[in-house]
Structure 1
Amino acid sequence: MKFSRSLTIIGVATLTALALAACGNSSSNSATSGTGNVTVAVSGFPIVKKPLTMSIMAPSMGKTNWSNMAALKEYAKMTNIQLKYNTPPTSDFSTKLNLAFASQDLPDIIYAAGSALTPANEVSYGKNGQLVPLEKLIPKYAPNFNKLMEKNPAIRKSITTPDGHIYALPYVAEDTIASWYIGPLWYNGEWLKKLGVKTLPKTTDEFYQLLKRFKTEDPNGNGKADEIPLTDVKMDVARIWLMPAFGLLSQDVQNDGDKVIYAPIDKRYKAYLTFMHKLFAEGLLDKDAFSQSDDQKNAKGQADRLGVFANYFSYFTTGRTTDQAMNDPMWRPLTSPESPKPVIAMSPRINRADFAITKNNPSPAAALRWVDYFYSKKGSLFINQGPEGYLWNYATNSKGQKVKVMAKGVTSTNSEDKRAEISPTYGLTAPMLTADWDADAIRAKADAPAVSNFTKWVRNETKEKIDPYGRVPFPLVYLTKDEQDSVAASANDLKTYVEESEAKFITGVTPLSDWDKYVQTIKGMKVDQYVKVYQAAYDRWKKAN
């Protein structure tokens, strides 16, 4: 799962407040890196006494030149490591990165690559010697990250390739909302109040009955039958929250009690399609759910026409304030005859391949030290919010405590635009640790709360409705080269066919009586081999130390 999120600095921002464990200011503890004549301090700053230059390749969000970012400029002074930046636009980054590997014209560091550096490429480029294995260097030169792996063994298992090496470091999220697999579905709280609904649906039948009331009882009060009970864009979010009502967590492979299944041919998936077709046929699911844009969906929300809808936060769709948004309940998992116990898909809280070191790097040890700071509390906060004087300044509150407050010219509405100018983490899953470090939040004023009421409310909704029922659909695994070759063609074909068929079944273009024909078609696309490969990968993952 990809965690692409931009982090604001107050209010909602504090949901993912970033910070790091302090490194000392002395660099008395040093060692030779083993990759040349570079001497690398194993703690403190600077990382190297003699100035060192490295090239770095990263996707740009297009807001500002990385060489002008205050966080990076200040960090260069702290570390004595200067960077030469190659930052193609995010839209071109994957292509540019692949060309760099193909031409052997590699940067020293690959940063925030995410999905552009695929698991298959990690395995391939690592085996070919283009990426440096990091596992032996990590204990000494990345102690902060090493502590994370010791605390959570799933991290090491999820970033270790079949040949036993770690070729890239991840983004690691420990903040509350990191458990979201994708942005939630939300109920229109004003409609619930209008209809006197005090308890959210707990079963698919109760959900169906509520949608019917949304459609027929004029909850927006305009006297028109213009209400849309449920909507989405291509079902990309709704399916993630609705499929678990039928016991399925993925539209791909899923781990069911250590047995890997292909969910789209499971009989429970047919039950999901049958339910969704019923909603569509009765006008309870938006007729535009498979064709509209996100902007079109939001326009309907701002016109108060939506009952249940998808977005990261509800006010992104409704246009309401954050205080009003606290009346819009988060989705809670449903049950059905196929799945009598509530369950919901949960994120693994890891995004792989966000920091890799290539064979051209003059000192992998120094590069590891450079990034490891961001896996501690103090350094993560630093790279995310920059040094004092840009987004924030220190102030003293009425209790005599030293707190961070917004810098002059920074407001809750422009904070992300300002942050984009000073931090490379804007809009990217950068190699770092995030957590709920509320004490480090940037406040509007010295005596303002560190955490907004909305932030507290969203965390509580998450803890109540997701955390007790969450389960990761499938762990982050790697395939061997032979396994990749055996499923590469069928993977894309399966994904395309399943998504197209879902839309046709739900809208009625294809009758559900064609289910057996659909299953046979998928079996003809080598799905058994596909499942066999992922079963083997899962078994390796489970057995890994």
Structure 2
Amino acid sequence: MKKTLKLCLTGLCCVGFAAACSSSDTDGDSTSNTNPDVEVSKEGFPIVEEEITLSLMAPGTGLAEWKDMPTLQEYSEMTNISFEYTTPPMSDFATRLNLAFASGDVADIIYGAGTSNLTPGMEVDYGRQGILIPLEDLIAEYAPNIQRLLDENPDIARSITTVDGHIYSLPVINQHPNSSWAVPMWYNGEWLDALDAKVPTTTDELYDLLVRFRDEDPNGNGEADEIPLLDVQMNSTRLAFLGAFGMKAWGIEEVDGEVRYAPHTENYKEYLTYMNKLFEEGLLDPETFSQSDEQKKAKGQENRLGLFPDWFSFFTTGQSEDEAMNNPMFHALSSPITDEPLIPINPGITRGTFAITSNNEYPEASIRWVDYFYSDEGSEFLDHGPEGYLFERDEDGNKVKLDPPPQFDSAEDYRGTLTPAYGIPTPTLVKRVEGVEVSEFDQFLDAETEEKIGPYGEVPIPLLYLTNEEQEIVNTIEVDLKSYVEQLEARFITGVEPLSNWDKYVDTIESMNIEEYIEIYQVAYDRWASS
């Protein structure tokens, strides 16, 4: 039986979150901080009477300095907590964070790192060393919004609790209608109209459409310059195509309670065979494994792309939101080896977004500071910033959207200068902002998601933690395993490595202790399932 893990967070009741952390000036109960000279209010604002300063390290998007963001400026005034920000570029963040841990000169708070930078293994290891402090007792006493979420949905609690029983980082909890997205893919609507074509639902239909994109001049310029499908290193389209062949992850996944390593299956061979066919016939951009994201976008703005990945299609095409509503979303595909369309989706939780280090003299104030963003009121504030930038209120108190300043291409680009909640996983409860009319573009996204992802989405595997011993073994195996699979994917797809060498590929993977690797994750999954 197909076991579909729908977003476990959808049913959470969030009524009353704002009341627990309102922006009133009531003093509330206070208790002594770890620093005896500072009293921390358990309710309302300010959090502390006398201003304190903390250090915070986070990945920066480069759109604005964090100290200049109106959201953080206003929240500092509300809380009496100011920050010294260290925000290296996202591309350098992992290296800088590892260096900080190694030197011991790590910031008071690690913010917006996400699991790719603050990995589950790092949480367990640095938690064991005492560099990351446990958060569960602080949550129970100082973070009513977070505690309510944990109480209402045990799946959240067990997904962020390590094997030693501690919580070392907070997640982003996503209840937005589009929270299931990995990286969506979009069809060029003008091309579909020109060819009178429909969105494919099978791999064979997709192949036929890509051939038409290549051969029938859908951009109408009289040149054979169309690129039917492209990506950058397959990092965005990979999951959608894996799903078409019955897989949910480019690695460990769970199927009906059994854990397997997808790149070690016959399903994966079928995926490689299909993608190699697309590459050999000029349907997949020959520069897929060599180009940059900027090069990809340049091709989109030249109207040369038929099917492409991006968070919104206009990020690639340069179109307006109104024009982008003509670009349909990719539909989950079935294939000759799987009758039912399948597409991997996010679990609605991303870990590693907020951690407090042992250098922090004010952990109680820090957890109070972040707890606000898990309320309805606080999540809206973090997402949209203060009034007067992205919205204003009319005479009835309703929120009215404001247009971005003319120097910004979109409201999203402008938003990235107002708040840190842009392009990185921030510790918050993500929901649609209430009181703001849902735009036509958002209605379009909702409808596309409901039709083309919702019925077919599956979470690859629950969020798991390993013991230190398990993690050490996995780390030993994983480095060479991932590197080999990554290299061979590109070689198989481009034909540098013929698929006749599949058995040799499988033998090599098996020589890397893949059985032990799978067994460790099976034990971890069983531990999660019974917790």
User: Is the 1:33–1:364 contact (alpha carbons within 8 Å) kept by the matching residues of 2?
Assistant: no
User: TM-score scaled by structure 1?
Assistant: 0.87
Aligned 8 A contact 1:20 1:374 in 2:
no
TM-score for the superposition, normalised by structure 2: 0.89
How far has the Cα of 1:58 moved from its partner?
2.7
Matched, 1:343 2:342: yes
Task: Return 146-155 or 454-463, whichever deviates more.
Answer: 146-155
Residues 1:465 and 2:455 are matched in the alignment: no
Map of 1:231-250 to 2, 5 A cutoff?
A: 231-250=230-249
Deviation at 1:296, TM superposition (A): 2.8
The structure-2 alpha-carbon separation of the partners of 1:313 and 1:133, relative to structure 1 and needing over 3 Å to count, comes to same
The verdict on how the C-alpha distance between 1:307 and 1:534 changes in structure 2, with shifts beyond 3 A counting, is same
Show the counterpart of 2:3.
Answer: none
Residue 130 (structure 2) aligns with: 129
Q: Amino acid of the residue matched to residue 152 of structure 2?
A: K
1:48 is matched with 48
What residue identity is the alignment partner of 2:163?
P
User: In the alignment, which residue of structure 2 is the partner of 1:10?
Assistant: none
| Contact preservation (8 Å) 2:160, 2:351 | yes
Unpaired stretches in structure 2, ≥5 consecutive residues: 1-15
Give the letter for the 1:233 counterpart: V
Deviations 1:446-484 (A, max 9, x none): xxxx33211210111011111111111122212211112
Quote the Cα distance in structure 2 between the aligned partners of 1:314 and 1:207. 19
Taking the aligned partners of 2:54 and 2:295, their CA distance within structure 1 comes to 45
Report the AA paired with residue 308 of structure 1.
L
Maintained 8 Å contact 1:385/1:423: yes
1:481-496 mapped onto 2 (5 Å cutoff): 481-496=468-483
1:401-434 deviation line (CA, Å, top 9, x unaligned): 5434438947763645554444333432221111
Instruction: Identify if the C-alpha distance between structure 1 residues 423 and 200 changes in structure 2 by more than 3 Å, giving closer, same or farther.
Output: closer
Which range is displaced more, 467-476 or 299-308?
299-308
Task: Within 5 Å, give how 1:331-480 maps onto structure 2.
Answer: 331-396=330-395, 400-406=396-402, 409=405, 413=409, 415-416=411-412, 418-440=414-436, 450-480=437-467
Aligned partner letter, 2:461 = F
Rate the CA distance shift 1:327–1:53 in 2: closer, same or farther, 3 A.
closer
Using the TM superposition, name which of 510-519 and 24-33 deviates more.
24-33
Conserved? CA contact 1:27–1:41, under 8 Å = no
Greater CA drift, 412-421 or 336-345: 412-421
Q: Which amino acid counterpart does residue 228 of structure 1 have in structure 2?
A: I
Residues 26 and 43 in structure 1, CA contact (< 8 A), matched pair in contact too:
no
Mapped partners of 2:78, 2:425: distance in 1: 23
Are the equivalent residues in 2 in contact too, given 1:61–1:90 (CA < 8 A)? Answer: yes
Which AA in structure 1 matches 2:528? W
CA contact (8 A) 1:42 1:369 kept: yes
Partner Cα separation in structure 2 for residue 53 and residue 523 of structure 1: 52
Q: Shift of the alpha carbon at 1:156?
A: 1.3
Equivalent residue, structure 2, for 1:501 = 488
CA RMSD of superposed structures (Å): 2.5
Counterparts of 2:154 and 2:277, CA distance in 1: 44
The verdict on how the C-alpha distance between 1:543 and 1:42 changes in structure 2, with shifts beyond 3 A counting, is: same
**Residue 160 of structure 1: CA displacement?**
0.7
Opposite residue 428 of structure 2, the aligned amino acid is: M
Q: Give me the whole-angstrom Cα distance separating, in 2, the residues matched to 1:427 and 1:175.
A: 16
Deviation at 1:316, TM superposition (A): 2.6
Cα distance change, pair 36–456 in 1 and its aligned pair in 2 (3 A): same
**How far is 1:299 from its partner?**
3.1
- CA 200–439 in structure 1, closer or farther in 2 if over 3 Å, else same: same
Indicate the residue corresponding to 1:328 in structure 2. Answer: 327
Match of 1:179 in 2: 180
Percent of aligned positions that are identical: 52
Number of equivalent positions: 512
Q: What do residues 328-369 of structure 1 show as CA deviations (whole Å, max 9, x unaligned)?
A: 211111112311111110011222111111223233222111
From 500, 521, 529, the equivalent of 1:534 is: 521
- More displaced 10-residue stretch of structure 1: 383-392 or 148-157: 383-392
Q: Deviations over 1:283-307 (max 9, x none)?
A: 2222222222233333333333322
Q: Give unpaired runs (5+ residues) of structure 1.
A: 1-18, 441-449
Show the counterpart of 2:9: none
| 1:177 match: secondary structure | coil
CA contact (8 A) 2:33 2:40 kept: no
